[in-house]
């Protein structure tokens, strides 16, 4: 399945993004099942979605629930990148802003094709550092070091990613869970709370959300990118997942 980085940047068709979509869909299912949410036909929809993308089928040729799943997943990925970069050091943001914006634009165009026949679908919004305030200033100012800033940003934004995609797919995230998780996670990364202070449900959710190390590894492998940058992302996410592992019990 491997393609070069250049080929990935040139990707135009739904089939070109099937290997991008599937790891995200599996991630959604893994987190939802791990939190005990009712996932209904989601597993089957993932198979249908991947098959549709590989065959180039869109719009009325695809079941409405499958169109919604693909569109929500790709819209979330398309929107995620630029807000995430704002949490990072300036040198890192400037170096990746252009390719991140281009990748987002490509994902948006594919998502539009699956959203075309959906009655209504929202577009996600992800938090910028100025949206998360602690003691009158952005909470990220309390976090030093590249890896810790990366982990803090991911802890907030993958929470919002899951909230958006799960909501669009009707997975029934418990009311108040996302807001409480956000509050506690900010306190943890800003140094006001220890991991033992976190509610077990919040710890479980973050453990599951940090399995996005599997998403990173799978994309890196499926597209034959051999990206050292993605390998760094994977290591940071794996480190955080291990921190949250063992701090809650089933």
Residue 41 placed within a domain: yes
Give the gyration radius of the chain's Cα atoms: 18
Residue 153 placed within a domain: yes
Helix (H) or strand (E) holding 138: strand 137-138
Region 94-115 average pLDDT: 92
- Residues paired with 138 in a beta bridge: 133
If one counts the domains in the chain, the total is: 1
Query: Would you call 179 exposed, middle or buried from its count of C-beta atoms within 10 A (0-12, 13-18, 19+)?
Result: exposed
Question: Is residue 34 over pLDDT 90?
Answer: yes
C-alpha span between 18 and 192 (Å, rounded): 41
Residue 80 placed within a domain: yes
Q: Identify whether the C-beta of residue 139 lies closer than 8 Å to the C-beta of residue 133.
A: yes
Residue 217 placed within a domain: yes
Residue 155 placed within a domain: yes
Question: Is residue 249 over pLDDT 80?
Answer: no
Question: Is residue 7 over pLDDT 60?
Answer: no
- The boundaries of the domain holding residue 165 are 5-120+137-239
User: In a 3-state reduction of DSSP, which class is residue 222?
Assistant: helix
Question: Is residue 5 over pLDDT 90?
Answer: no
Residue 245 placed within a domain: no
C-alpha span between 74 and 16 (Å, rounded): 13
**pLDDT value of position 4:** 37
Please tell me the pTM assigned to this model: 0.93
Residue 177 placed within a domain: yes
Phi, then psi, of 138 in degrees rounded to 5: -55, 130
Closest by alpha carbon to 155, among 218, 104, 198? 198
Residue 250 placed within a domain: no
Residues in the chain, total: 250
Maximum distance among all Cα pairs of the chain, rounded to whole angstroms: 52
């Amino acid at each position: 399945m491997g393609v070069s980085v250049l080929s990935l940047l040139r990707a135009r068709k739904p089939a070109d993004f099937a290997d991008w979509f599937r790891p995200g869909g599996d991630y959604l299912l893994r987190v939802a099942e791990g939190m005990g949410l009712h996932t209904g036909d989601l597993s089957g929809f993932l198979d249908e979605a991947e098959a549709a993308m590989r065959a180039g089928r869109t719009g009325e040729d695809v079941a409405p629930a499958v169109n919604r799943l693909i569109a929500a997943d790709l819209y979330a990925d398309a929107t995620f990148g630029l807000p995430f970069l704002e949490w990072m050091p300036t040198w890192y943001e400037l170096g990746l802003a252009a390719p991140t914006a281009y990748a987002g634009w490509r994902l948006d165009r594919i998502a539009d094709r699956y959203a075309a026949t959906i009655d209504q679908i929202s577009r996600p919004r992800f938090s910028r550092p100025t949206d998360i305030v602690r003691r009158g200033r952005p909470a990220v100012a309390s976090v030093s070091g590249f890896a810790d800033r990366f982990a803090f940003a991911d802890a907030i934004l993958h929470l919002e990613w899951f909230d958006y995609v799960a909501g669009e797919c009707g997975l029934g995230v418990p009311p108040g869970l996302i807001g409480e998780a956000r509050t506690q996670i900010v306190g943890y990364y800003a140094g006001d709370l220890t991991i033992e202070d976190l509610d077990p449900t919040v710890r479980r959710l973050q453990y599951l959300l940090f399995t996005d190390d599997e998403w990173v590894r799978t994309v890196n492998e499926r597209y034959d990118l051999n990206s050292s940058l993605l390998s760094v992302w994977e290591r940071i996410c794996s480190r955080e997942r291990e921190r949250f592992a063992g701090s809650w019990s089933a």
